[in-house]
Amino acid sequence: MPHTHTRHGSSGDDLCSTDEVKIFKDEGDREDEKISSENLLVEEKSSLIDLTESEEKGNKTVRPDHSPVFNKLEPHTPSFNMGYLVSPYPYGNGAPSGLPVTMANKMGLPPFFCHNADPLTTPPPAHCGIPPYQLDPKAMGLTRPALYPFAAGQYPYPMLSPDMTQVASWHTPSVYTASSFRTPYPTSIPINTTLSSDFPFRFSPSLLPSVHAASHHVLNSHPAIVGASSKQDCGSQDPTTNNRYPRNLDSKNSSNTQSIDCKDSSNDKKKPHIKKPLNAFMLYMKEMRAKVVAECTLKESAAINQILGRRWHALGREEQAKYYELARRERQLHMQMYPDWSSRTNASRGKKRKRKQDAHDGGNNMKKCRARFGLDQQNQWCKPCRRKKKCIRYMEAMNGTGAIEDGSGIDDLGSQLSDDDDDDDDDDQLVGSCGSGDESNKIPDDDTESLNQSISSPGCLSGLSSLQSPSTTTSLASPLNMNINPATPSLLAVSTNALMVPNAEQGSSQPRSESISASGSSSGSTCSISTTPNTSNTVSPVTGTTGPSSSLAHERAMMLGNRFSHLGMGLSHPIGSSVSNKPDALFQPHPSVSKNKSSANGFNGFSGSGVPPKAPAPVNVPRNPIGANPRDINNPLSINQLTKRREDLNVCSIAVSDSKEKSALGPTSIIHHAAPHGYHPHHSLFNSSFSQHFHQQLTHHLAAASNSESTILSGDSHSINNGKHTSSDPPTNANNPSSSAGSSETGAISVS
């Protein structure tokens, strides 16, 4: 519900786009009220409302005291709940932790977060073993947790000293030089210094300290502006702007948007690129990214984002509410700062749009590796190609976009198609798995297509995930559910089913077996992953026997390993993880359904299988929000691939694959087996043992599987699922009555 589909058309008038508030209004507000004593969130909200109203009335300059909250920003006010006296970024690397102290506590931020019990002094979470530096209270004003001392490109995890440097440089413009921090609001905009206090964390991180030390920072640093001043490139530092801060620009941003802007608006240099205010999730991401990076050793943002997305869903409603609140404030502030600004302004960068479209049309290079090396040599494919990200997307584009002119697209399409029929087959299956299937399929597939399209996500994979994602239907905050199968624990299953079914039902030209196989092998998310090429030929996906067999099997095994590792990894919640003090939603048996948090829903899937049957199977287990389900195979494959631990698994999986084929079984068997063991709250344990276990299981299955794969699969899935997930399976099966193998696999997948 966070994103209840309440259209904000009017949002413009109503700055407060109360969407979030509305969202949580029912439950969230109540909860907030409950906890209001703690964090005064309610007050804030109300104050915000007032603020908003008053603001709407037109006084942008006069806002100082509107928000008690902001007033609370007063550095020395430990009680402050929403403001960020401390750098919002717990990590020296600049990852924001916009969480208010109280929030931080709730969210389980590491103790050091509140290190001296003085929020102000809170050192940047030297998460990862880096001892929090001691702040000199005297220096408080000056000192600020190393906010952005590092180059954006760096995630200097062990960032420690930065503080010192930062402190030293605090007053110097250079502070922001390399910072990822955004540019300040243009001074042109009349900003009341008091306003500084009003800045929500995103705006304020650097600003907060400013309350004491330098209000001037405030004036200059609105992150939203990627100012014309930004890079030297444009060379046009806005004269009006304080020169000291022009460099605040995020290097990346500056490079990207900026350059564009500069070129485009070379004429009007002064037009700074005003960025969109960050939404709740973005704020969350910004804050948690570093943490995730540290935990997972991932660096690839895409993968990290996937994890973050899961965590976001796993996040308690309250916590989310806070972020929504922050986001709302930020929007408000942004509105105030730039009354004339509209997203369309930035949207003017239609170029990007065109580019994307072009990409869809012509992404020749998408299959480059494929075309070049062929299926046989997948190991030589580039990583994306292996993941089939683009390929998938491409296919989706083809299918989704009305097959792109079939004939017309012949250039690219034709070439590609011609290039790799094999690939296409694969992709087709992928597509099929994704639900779009062939054009032939697609045509009839209104539903499917709609699904795909509705899924804004570019890739099939993402599509699935997004599909899974409550956001499309429900949000985390929302009681999810909404699904076909409330009971279905597995997003994947759901998504898969949803996508798949239409094809199957519509009697697509393709044999159902294919679609199933695709789903099975790929197991959904797997669209990307498993899209193993061979599936096209195989009657049953499971049968690794057909086709590219060894290499494919090998790769598939790897994929499985990766994915599986991912279960342990990305999702794994490090014990020490700051994500939440409260039992990790992801890995805890479902706390209390009573709590009725959406987040709770998140784990159901996992808990469902992972949690010992003893747990009363929530009858109506809502569908897991995207990523909420740790076992969601759909989740970031890339994550696994990027992870260290993954390597181990890969090795295992590889070995296994060498042993031969049947990787397809992997997912199912593995997952199911894992489940029986029950979920170990200690994810470390889970991880470590998990890989071994995984390997063993996989081996076993490989050995045994040769015979009765389908049988085993179905058996496993059902046996395992019988507890909570059974419900999930049935639909799948029901949907895919056709092939036992498919169903079994699907079921297996659904487990995840």
Sequence letter at residue 393? R
Residue carrying structure tokens 């009007």: 268
CB 554 within 8 A of CB 654: yes
Q: Is 134 in the site for DNA (CB under 7 A)?
A: no
Q: Both tokens of residue 158? A: 């062990």
Question: Which of these ranges, 53-61, 357-365, 673-681, 712-720, lies near DNA under the rule CB under 7 A?
Answer: 357-365
CB 743 within 8 A of CB 732: yes
Cα separation of the two ends of the chain = 24
Which residues from 202-241 bind DNA, rule CB under 7 A? Answer: 223, 226
Please say which residue, 634 or 726, places its beta carbon nearer to DNA: 634
Which residue in 481, 493, 469 sits closest to 730, CA to CA?
A: 493
The rounded distance, in Å, linking the Cα atoms of 613 and 96 is 39
Which residues from 402-461 bind DNA, rule CB under 7 A? Answer: 450, 453-454, 456-459, 461
Q: Is 462 in the site for DNA (CB under 7 A)?
A: yes
CB of 88 to DNA, least distance (A): 11
- Helix axis angle, 317-337 to 280-296, nearest 10°: 120
* Binding mask of the shown chain, residues 678 to 717, with x at each position contacting DNA by CB under 7 A: ----------------------------------------
Q: Is 393 in the site for DNA (CB under 7 A)?
A: yes
Which residues from 171-190 bind DNA, rule CB under 7 A? Answer: 180, 182
Q: Is 644 in the site for DNA (CB under 7 A)?
A: no
Question: Which of these ranges, 91-99, 192-200, 538-546, 682-690, lies near DNA under the rule CB under 7 A?
Answer: 91-99
Which residues from 10-39 bind DNA, rule CB under 7 A? Answer: 11-12, 17, 19-20
The rounded distance, in Å, linking the Cα atoms of 720 and 119 is 47
| Other C-beta atoms lying within 10 Å of the C-beta of residue 356 | 13
Please say which residue, 426 or 729, places its beta carbon nearer to DNA: 426
DSSP state of 403: G
Q: Both tokens of residue 92? A: 């020296």
**φ, ψ for residue 183 (rounded to 5)?**
-70, 160
Q: How far, CA to CA in Å, does 259 sit from each of 187, 231, 236, 253, 349?
A: 21, 8, 12, 9, 11
CB of 642 to DNA, least distance (A): 7
CB 669 within 8 A of CB 701: yes
CB 472 within 8 A of CB 481: no
The rounded distance, in Å, linking the Cα atoms of 704 and 32 is 54
Please say which residue, 538 or 650, places its beta carbon nearer to DNA: 650
Which residues from 473-492 bind DNA, rule CB under 7 A? Answer: 475-477
Please say which residue, 3 or 724, places its beta carbon nearer to DNA: 3
Please say which residue, 66 or 182, places its beta carbon nearer to DNA: 182
CB 262 within 8 A of CB 233: yes
Q: Both tokens of residue 710? A: 């389908």
| Other C-beta atoms lying within 10 Å of the C-beta of residue 454 | 14
Please say which residue, 287 or 716, places its beta carbon nearer to DNA: 287
CB of 152 to DNA, least distance (A): 4
Question: Which of these ranges, 72-80, 109-117, 134-142, 282-290, lies near DNA under the rule CB under 7 A?
Answer: 282-290
Which residues from 285-324 bind DNA, rule CB under 7 A? Answer: 285-286, 289, 299-302, 305-306, 308-309, 312-313, 320, 324
Q: Is 353 in the site for DNA (CB under 7 A)?
A: yes
CB of 716 to DNA, least distance (A): 27
Please say which residue, 466 or 697, places its beta carbon nearer to DNA: 466
CB of 159 to DNA, least distance (A): 11
Q: Is 144 in the site for DNA (CB under 7 A)?
A: no
CB of 255 to DNA, least distance (A): 5
